[in-house]
A and B are shown apart, each in its own frame.
Chain A
C-alpha cells in the first residue's frame, strides 16, 4: 500500500522539494488547521508516514466559485495542498482528461482506494424528475453522489449549494435542489459560504490530512473552529452597534463614518462565519469593511431573507409586508374590535349593570338624617 500511495513527504520529495520546504509546509498547514505549535511534531509525523489521500472533487449544481475561492488561498503553499500534496484524481473543472477518460479515472480512483479517498462536493443535487436537471455523462447527480459517497473516507460539502442549497433552493426551488447532507446517510462536513473563505477550505482539508478524521462539528455539521462565532460579534463595527450608531442611508454621513450597517439589513447578527477574523483576498478585507452589509451567504435560505431588509418579508400578506406590518394590523383590528365591543356592551349589558345597581346599597343617596344603608349590610349579612 505504501508503494501505491506515497506519503505527502514522499510526494514532495519526488517533486524535488527540500526537507526545509517540507517543514515550512508543515508549519503553514498547522496554522491553516488552527492548531497549536505543540502539535507540530504530530503534523510532521503524519505527513511523513500517512499515505497521501486521493481526492475526488465532484461538481453539481454550482457556479464554481468555491473552486475559484480555493485556488486563491492566501498562501501559495497552502494552495499547493491540492495540486501537489493531495492526489486530485478527479475534478471536472481542472482535470486534463475529458469524456469517457475522465469518467474512467473517477471509477478507477474509487475502486483502487475504496474507503480511503476524500470526497469533496461542490453544488446541490436536484431531485426533480429523477434528477434530470443535472446529469454528467448521462447519469444523474444523485446517482453519482451516492456511488461516490458509499466508499468515501470523509465527505465535505463545499459552499452553500452543497450545504444548504443556495440560490437554486431559493423559493420556489424549481429543480428541488437539495443539500447533500440530506441525501447521504454518512456524516457530512458542511463548509457553507458563497463561496467559503479559501483559508477555511484549506483549513478543513488540512485537518483531514493531519488527523484523518473530520474536525469538531456543530449541530449543523459545520467545523466549530470557523463557524462558531457570528460575523456580528467579531465585526470591527460592533462598537457602533452597541453605541446605537447606525447607517440610515447608503449615502448618509453615518455611512461615510463607517457606522453599523444593522439597519441597512446587514445579516452579520445572524450569520456564523469567519469573515471578520480571517477576512478575504489575503486578509485584505471583507464585505462590511467595504461598506456593504453582510448578506448571510453561509446561512440557510439566505436568498429568501432579502439582502437589504432587517426583517424578512412575511409570506402570504403581500409583497412588502413584514412581521411588523402584520402585527400592527392585528393590533389595530383588535383595538377596533375592543372599542366596538365596549360600545355594544354599554347598550346590551345596560340591564345587567342596572340590576347590579339595584342590588347596590347606595343606589339612593341617603337622605339627611336617615341612617346610612351601608351600615346595615355587612359581608354575608342578611338578605332583606
Chain B
C-alpha cells in the first residue's frame, strides 16, 4: 500500500498568540488605512443631493483613517517589543540579517520558489530568510508611513504624539510632498499583499505543512527527519 511511504511529522508551535494577534490587527488596520486613504486621496462622489449639515461621511472616512493609524502604530510598537521577548521565530535576530547562512537561505529560497529549481536544503520552520528580509523592508515602509502620516496629521492636531513626527514636513519640503510620498508608499502595501497572500497559499499547497492555518492556530508541521539536518 502507498501508506508504506508515510513519514512521521512533528507539530511545531511557530506563531505565538501575540504574534497572531499582531498579524491580524495589522492586516485589518492596513486594509482600513489603504481603503480610507485611497478615498481621502480621491474621494468618490456619493449622496450629492444632500446639504452639508445632513451628512458627514467624508469626515468619518478621515476619522477611521486616523483611528486605524493609531492602532496600526501601537500594534507595530508592540511587535517590536515582542521581537525581544518572543520565541525564536518572532525574534529580531531572525529578521535582521547578520549571519552568512541567512543570505544563503534567502538565495536558496529565491532559486526554489521563484526560479523553481528542486528543493535541496532544509525548509525553514519559521520564515525563510527571503521572507524575513521582505518583512524587514516592509517594516521600514510601515515606519515611513507612521512618520509621514503623523507628520501630516500634526498640522491639524494638538495631541503630542503626532507632533513627535512634525519634523518630517520641513525635511520633505512641505505637506504636499509628504502627502505625495505617503500616497506612493501605500502602493507598496498593495503590491506586498498580492505577493504575500499568493505565496502563503503557494507554500501551503506545495509543502503541505499548514502554512495558512499556522497564522490562525500557530501550528506548523515538520517532517521528523528535518530536525536531524
Q: Mark B182-202, 1 if CB is under 8 A from A, else 0.
A: 011011001100110010001
Q: Mark A271-285, 1 if CB is under 8 A from B, else 0.
A: 110000000000000
Across the interface, do A301 and B186 meet the contact criterion of CB distance under 8 Å? no
Minimum C-beta distance from B174 to chain A (A): 4
Please pick, from A248, A269, A328, A353, the residue contacting B175 in the complex, using a CB distance under 8 A. A269
Q: Which of A47-55, A119-127, A335-343 contacts B (4 or more CB under 8 A)?
A: A335-343
Residue A320 at the chain B interface, CB threshold 8 Å: no
**Cβ-closest chain B residue relative to A348:** B116
Q: Which of B25-33, B37-45, B74-82, B135-143 contacts A (4 or more CB under 8 A)?
A: B37-45
Task: Compute how far the CA of A342 lies from the CA of B9 in the bound complex, rounded to whole angstroms.
Answer: 27
Across the interface, do A349 and B155 meet the contact criterion of CB distance under 8 Å? no
Q: Which of B14-22, B55-63, B93-101, B124-132 contacts A (4 or more CB under 8 A)?
A: B55-63
Q: Which of A64-72, A142-150, A202-210, A374-382 contacts B (4 or more CB under 8 A)?
A: A374-382
Across the interface, do B224 and A349 meet the contact criterion of CB distance under 8 Å? no
Residue A245 at the chain B interface, CB threshold 8 Å: yes
**Cβ-closest chain B residue relative to A313:** B180
Residue A101 at the chain B interface, CB threshold 8 Å: no
Residue A173 at the chain B interface, CB threshold 8 Å: no
Across the interface, do A270 and B174 meet the contact criterion of CB distance under 8 Å? yes
Minimum C-beta distance from B125 to chain A (A): 16
Q: Please provide the chain A residues from 284 to 303 with a CB less than 8 Å away from any CB of chain B in the complex.
A: 296, 299-302
**Cβ-closest chain B residue relative to A296:** B176
Residue B156 at the chain A interface, CB threshold 8 Å: yes
Across the interface, do A345 and B202 meet the contact criterion of CB distance under 8 Å? yes
Across the interface, do B186 and A327 meet the contact criterion of CB distance under 8 Å? yes
Task: Compute how far the CA of A377 lies from the CA of B156 in the bound complex, rounded to whole angstroms.
Answer: 63
Across the interface, do A358 and B176 meet the contact criterion of CB distance under 8 Å? no
B interface residues, tally (CB under 8 Å): 61
Across the interface, do A254 and B48 meet the contact criterion of CB distance under 8 Å? yes
**Cβ-closest chain A residue relative to B198:** A338
Please pick, from B62, B173, B183, B184, the residue contacting A301 in the complex, using a CB distance under 8 A. B173
Across the interface, do A243 and B174 meet the contact criterion of CB distance under 8 Å? no
Max chain A Cβ within 10 angstroms of own Cβ: one of B7, B46, B52, B208: B52
Residue A242 at the chain B interface, CB threshold 8 Å: yes
Q: Please provide the chain B residues from 132 to 171 with a CB less than 8 Å away from any CB of chain A in the complex.
A: 155-156, 166-167, 169-170
Given known pairs A345-B202, A364-B2, the reply for A356 and B9 (CB within 8 Å) is no
Residue A37 at the chain B interface, CB threshold 8 Å: no
Contacts of A263 in B (CB 8 A): 42-43
Task: Compute how far the CA of A272 lies from the CA of B53 in the bound complex, rounded to whole angstroms.
Answer: 26
Task: Compute how far the CA of A269 lies from the CA of B46 in the bound complex, rounded to whole angstroms.
Answer: 21
Across the interface, do A302 and B183 meet the contact criterion of CB distance under 8 Å? no
Contacts of A270 in B (CB 8 A): 174-176, 179
Minimum C-beta distance from A289 to chain B (A): 17
Residue A59 at the chain B interface, CB threshold 8 Å: no
**Cβ-closest chain B residue relative to A347:** B116
Contacts of B58 in A (CB 8 A): 241-244
Across the interface, do A359 and B174 meet the contact criterion of CB distance under 8 Å? no
Contacts of A352 in B (CB 8 A): 119, 206-207
Given known pairs A301-B177, A302-B176, the reply for A364 and B3 (CB within 8 Å) is yes
Given known pairs A299-B174, A331-B191, the reply for A363 and B2 (CB within 8 Å) is yes
Contacts of A314 in B (CB 8 A): 184
Contacts of B122 in A (CB 8 A): none
Task: Compute how far the CA of A326 lies from the CA of B185 in the bound complex, rounded to whole angstroms.
Answer: 11
Given known pairs A345-B116, A382-B8, the reply for A311 and B183 (CB within 8 Å) is yes
Given known pairs A269-B175, A327-B190, A379-B10, the reply for A344 and B42 (CB within 8 Å) is no
Minimum C-beta distance from B122 to chain A (A): 15
Residue B50 at the chain A interface, CB threshold 8 Å: yes
Across the interface, do B183 and A323 meet the contact criterion of CB distance under 8 Å? yes
Q: Mark A86-121, 1 if CB is under 8 A from B, else 0.
A: 000000000000000000000000000000000000
Q: Mark A301-326, 1 if CB is under 8 A from B, else 0.
A: 11001000011101000000001101
Contacts of B7 in A (CB 8 A): 359, 383
List 29 A-B residue pairs with CB atoms under 8 Å apart, sorted by A's residue number: A239-B53, A243-B52, A244-B57, A245-B48, A262-B43, A267-B176, A269-B175, A299-B174, A302-B176, A311-B41, A312-B180, A323-B183, A331-B191, A334-B191, A338-B195, A341-B198, A345-B202, A345-B205, A345-B206, A356-B207, A358-B2, A361-B3, A361-B6, A363-B2, A377-B8, A379-B11, A380-B9, A383-B224, A384-B6
Known pairs A324-B183, A331-B191. 10 more at Cβ < 8 A? A243-B56, A243-B57, A244-B58, A270-B174, A271-B175, A299-B176, A349-B116, A363-B3, A377-B6, A383-B6
Closest 10 CB pairs of A and B: A327-B187, A244-B58, A270-B175, A242-B59, A243-B52, A270-B176, A348-B116, A239-B52, A300-B173, A323-B184
